[in-house]
Amino acid sequence: MALNVPGVVVMVFFYLMVLGTGIWASFKSKRESKKSSADQVEMTLLGNRGINPVVSMFTMTAKLRFE
């Protein structure tokens, strides 16, 4: 069985892109959390966005209904 070198190179490149995106997002998230007054849970779950309680109630109801 021969090794598909172009395929391996493309897969390594893809995984490096995913890793780079994750590292970049981590640094960006840490910077945003330092500038924000939101706690860690709000920053993680909502991305530092304010969501209306009525909208969040409908979202949770839809999530429970379709699981």
17-58 confidence digits (pLDDT tens) = 999 999 998 888 778 777 766 666 666 666 666 677 787 777
Task: Give yes or no: residues 43 and 66 share one domain.
Answer: yes
Q: Is the pTM of this model over 0.95?
A: no
Same domain for 24 and 52, yes or no, is no
Cα–Cα distance measured from residue 35 to residue 46, given in angstroms and rounded to the nearest whole number: 15
Calculate mean pLDDT across residues 2-29: 93
Q: What is the DSSP letter of 28?
A: H
What's the total number of domains in the chain? Answer: 2
Contact 58, 51 (CB under 8 A): no
2 and 31 share one domain: yes
Name the residue with tokens 């995984």. Answer: 15
CB atoms within 10 A of CB 53: 7
Higher pLDDT, 9 or 36: 9
* Residue 48 shares a structural domain with residue 63: yes
Residue type, 22: G
Domain membership of residue 58 as a residue range: 38-67
Q: Are residues 45 and 29 in the same domain?
A: no
